[in-house]
Amino acid sequence: NSPSSHLCVLLRATWQLDLKGHVYGLLAAHPVAPLVSLHHLDRLNPISPNWLKRLPAVRSLVGASRHDPSRTLQQAICYHHDARGGGRRRRRRRQFTLSVSVSWGYMVHLYPAAVPPHELQTPLRTFRAWSGSPAGPFTVNTRPEATPNATALPCHRKPIMFYLDRVTAMSTSTTNWTLTEYVPEVLSGERCNTTGFDAATKVQMIQVIALKMNPAIWKRAPRRQCCKMQNANEGDKLIVKIHECKPDEATTSV
């Protein structure tokens, strides 16, 4: 099949979905599986909303997958809670929490509040069923983009989307890793009355650092990996480091 009608990101399909519309809500919350196969791309919008045409959007994802095939689209979730005050002579700074969901090689969602892991792991319903129905049925659980009365979601439940801009492969004599960089969508100007909104909207780049994933992990009992945020309190660049979860480490909100 041509690239405009079929996408096979890695080596073999583990499941297939036939959908219409925007599928970024699904791909940004990819299950713990080594590959997604999407058919009928000619019926879909470009798989990444920052591209106007289908083929460049597909090439961006496939290009990233060549640097780390096993990690492509794999989700990592982490949180940053700022509890520092401003000192005696300065006005006390308001506390805030940021939530990050990384879909490696594709997209990062940044939320200006604490959003629980089970919600981040559930795809946003940005797509429609093959029949055209926005309500499904689907073979995965979904969460709505809007509330049942068709009003917008509370802004702290709407992610600021960062799209893949660049992938850089790096190595030493003993390790191989990647640096992926993501740039933000153009915001509509809507303001959010949460303490983390200003911190989230000032971020102009998210850099994700990750060791190259060992393909043998899929022969074991794989789980979502953990991550840690840096620079969340300063500047316009947020750094996220992905790592294998430690035995006592869990993907939980603060």
Among the listed residues 13, 62, 7, the one whose alpha carbon sits nearest the alpha carbon of residue 34: 13
Is pLDDT above 90 for 37? Answer: no
Which of 51-55, 85-89, 175-179 ranks highest by mean pLDDT? 175-179
CA distances from 12 to 123, 131, 221 (A): 22, 26, 18
Strand partners, 243: 226
Confidence band of 142 (pLDDT split at 50, 70, 90): confident
Percent of the chain with pLDDT over 90: 34
Is 1 inside a domain boundary?
Answer: no
Which is more confidently placed, 28 or 86?
A: 28
- Give me the number of domains the chain comprises: 1
pLDDT at 68 over 80: yes
Compute the distance between CA of residue 207 and CA of residue 178 in angstroms, rounded to an integer. Answer: 10
pLDDT digits (tens, 9 = 90+) for 118-137: 999 998 888 877 777 777 77
253 within a domain of the structure (yes/no) = no
Neighbours of 228 (CB within 10 A): 16
Ranking 1-5, 203-207, 216-220 by mean pLDDT, the lowest is: 1-5
Looking at the domain assignment, is residue 252 inside a domain?
A: no
Is residue 97 a part of any domain in this protein? yes
Give the pTM.
Answer: 0.84
Is residue 251 in some structural domain?
no
The pLDDT value recorded for residue 204 is: 95
Predicted pLDDT of residue 82: 78
Residue 69 within a domain: yes
- Residue with the bigger pLDDT between 26 and 182: it is 182
Is residue 32, in this structure, part of any structural domain at all?
Answer: yes
* pLDDT, greater one: 249 or 17: 249
**Which of the residue ranges 141-145, 160-164, 242-246 has the most confident prediction, judged by mean pLDDT?**
160-164
Q: What pLDDT digit, counting tens, does each position of 15-28 carry?
A: 455 787 888 988 99
Which of 244, 223, 17, 11 is CA-nearest to residue 121? Answer: 223
Higher pLDDT: 234 or 87? It is 234
Query: What was the pLDDT predicted at 36?
Result: 55
Residue 180 domain-assigned (yes or no): yes
DSSP state of 123: P
Residue bearing the bigger pLDDT, 208 or 112: 208
If you average pLDDT over residues 201-228, what whole number do you get? 89
Q: Which residue has the higher pLDDT, 169 or 5?
A: 169
| Better-scored residue on pLDDT, 145 or 126 | 126
Q: How far apart are the first and last CA of the chain?
A: 46
Nearest to 175 by CA among 211, 140, 145, 124: 211
Query: Band of the pLDDT at 195, cuts 50, 70, 90?
Result: confident
Which residues span the domain enclosing 87?
6-243
157 DSSP 8-state letter? G
Note the pLDDT of residue 94.
61
Amino acid at 229: M
Going by the DSSP 8-state scheme, the letter that residue 41 receives in this structure is: G
